[in-house]
Amino acid sequence: MEQRWVAWFKLFLVAFFLAFAGSFVALTVRGAKQAGAVSSWPDSEPQASPFPAPRASIPELLRRLDRLEVLRLRPSWEVEVGSGQALLSLEGDRLYVASSTDSSGSSLYCLDARSGAILWSRTLDAWISSPPSSWKEVVYVGTTSHVLHAVDAQSGNELWSFTAQGEILTRPLADDGLLLFFADNNAVFGLSNRLYALDPGSGALLWSYDTESWTPSPPATGQGLIFTAGSKSTVLALDRNTGREVWVKPVDSAVFSSPLLAGDRLYVATVDGRMYALDIRTGERLWEVGMYHFTPSFSRTAKGNVLLDRCPDRVLALSMEDGRIRWGLGGNPLLAAGPQSPEVVYVYFPDGRLLELDADTGRCLRIYVFGFDFSQRPYVSGGWVYCVSSDGKIRACLLPQASTAD
C-alpha cells in the first residue's frame, strides 16, 4: 500500500512539473509574440524581432532564456522628499531634485549622487512647473508663479530670478551662453507661448520669440540655430543670436516632443504617427515615414537609430538614414533618460522593471527587477539608475556589469 502511494505521489510530481513547464513555455511564446516583429506598420517592411522569434523551437527558446540575466537590485540609498511631484536632474556627482511639497510651495534639493547625502535644500514660493537643470555651477528651476530661479550649485543661495509672462513650461536649457525656456501667456483661451533667451549668468533678457503654438518640450540647439515645434503643426529654426526665423516648415500635425538634432539632420515626430528627417539648414524633408497613431514622449539616438516610445504601445528603433523600422519592443515600455552608452538602450516598465537592450538589434541583454515602482522616468548614467517612486522616495541603484557612458 505504501509503495502504491509513493508511486502515485511521484506521478503527481511529474504531472505538476510538466504542467508548470508547459505554462512557462506558453507565457514565453506569448511574450515573444508581444515583443516580436513589427510587421504591419504602413510604409515599412517587416523587421527582425528583438526577442526570440515565436517560430523558434522550444529548446532554442529555453536556451536563449537561460542566457538572459535577470537581476534583482536593492537601492544603495534612498531619500524621502514627499508624495508630490519630484523632478530630477543629474550633473556630475550631484543630483538635483525639485519636489512639490503642498498646495503653496516646493523644495529644491542637492544630493550627493553616490551617497544620497543632502548637501543643501531650498524652499521655493510655488509648485515646480519645470524640471531643474544646471550649467556652470548654477541650477535653474521654474515655478507655477511664473518665476525662473537661478540658484548657486554650491550653497543653494539664490543668485537671481526672472519673471515670465506665464507659467514656465519646459526644462531650462543652457547652451553656450544662452538660457532658453518656454512660458505660456497665462490664459485659458487663445493660448500662446513665448520662448525666452536669457544670459545664464545674470538673467538679463537677450531676446524673446512669440508663437501661437503650445510648446511643452525644450527646443534643440546646434550650429547657430534653435529648433522648436508645437501644437501649430510647424517646425521652425531660429537664429540663436537674434531669435529671428530662419525657416518654417509645415508638418501634418502637432509636435509635443522635442526635436532631435543629430549631425546635419533634425528628426521630428508628430502626434498622429509621422516621423520626419529634415535638413537643418533649409528645413527640406529628407525622408518621412507614416505609422500608426502614437504620441511619442521621449526620443534619443543610438547606434544609427532614432528611438521613440509610446508608438503606440512599444519602443521603436528607426534607421536615421531612411526611417526604416529596425526593431520594436512591445508591452508598453518607455525609454529611460540619461546619457547612456551608445551600445545599449534602457527601457523601463512603471511596475519596477528596467531592461538593457542591444541598441543595434533590440535584443534584451539584462532585466533588472526593483522592489519599488517608477512613478516617473528613471535616469540612467554611469552605471547608476536614479528614480522616483510613488511612495515619495528618491532611490539610487548601482547596475552590476552595466555598460556606462562615463
Could you give the CA distance from residue 166 to residue 230 in angstroms, rounded to a whole number? 17
Helix (H), strand (E), coil (C) string for 71-90: EEECCCEEEECCCCCEEEEE
Could you give the CA distance from residue 213 to residue 27 in angstroms, rounded to a whole number? 46
* Total Cβ atoms within 10 A of residue 362: 24
How many helical (H) and strand (E) elements, i.e. helices and strands, does the chain have?
2, 33
Task: Give me the pLDDT at residue 129, please.
Answer: 86
Name the one residue in this structure whose C-alpha cell is 501634418. Answer: 252
Domain map of the chain by residue range?
Answer: 39-73+305-406
Could you give the CA distance from residue 373 to residue 353 in angstroms, rounded to a whole number? 8
The amino acid occupying position 8 is W
Task: Give me the pLDDT at residue 32, please.
Answer: 39
pLDDT in tens, the chain (406 residues): 544 544 454 445 445 444 544 443 343 334 334 333 333 333 333 333 333 333 445 555 455 555 667 899 999 999 998 766 788 889 889 999 998 866 667 889 999 999 999 999 998 888 888 889 999 999 999 988 999 999 999 999 999 999 999 899 899 999 888 999 999 887 766 678 899 999 999 999 999 999 888 888 899 999 999 999 988 889 999 999 999 999 999 998 888 889 999 999 999 998 888 899 999 999 999 999 887 666 666 788 888 999 988 888 889 999 999 999 999 998 999 999 988 778 899 999 999 999 999 999 999 999 999 999 999 899 999 899 999 998 889 999 999 864 444 4
Could you give the CA distance from residue 120 to residue 131 in angstroms, rounded to a whole number? 18
* CATH fold of 39-73+305-406: Lipocalin (2.40.128)
Task: Give me the pLDDT at residue 191, please.
Answer: 73
Could you give the CA distance from residue 268 to residue 194 in angstroms, rounded to a whole number? 20
Strands (E), 280-392: 285-290, 299-302, 305-308, 315-319, 325-329, 334-335, 344-349, 353-358, 364-370, 379-381, 384-388
Q: Which helix (H) or strand (E) holds 58?
A: helix 58-67
Task: Please report how the helices 58-67 and 2-34 are oriented relative to each other, as an axis angle in degrees rounded to 10.
Answer: 80
pTM above 0.85, yes or no: no
- Strands across the sheet with 260-262, in order? 260-262, 265-269, 274-279, 285-290
Q: Determine if the peptide bond prior to 333 is cis (ω within 30°).
A: no
Task: Give me the pLDDT at residue 370, please.
Answer: 94
* Total Cβ atoms within 10 A of residue 247: 17
* Total Cβ atoms within 10 A of residue 221: 20
Task: Give me the pLDDT at residue 49, please.
Answer: 34
Could you give the CA distance from residue 80 to residue 135 in angstroms, rounded to a whole number? 26
DSSP state of 259: P
Task: Give me the pLDDT at residue 283, please.
Answer: 95
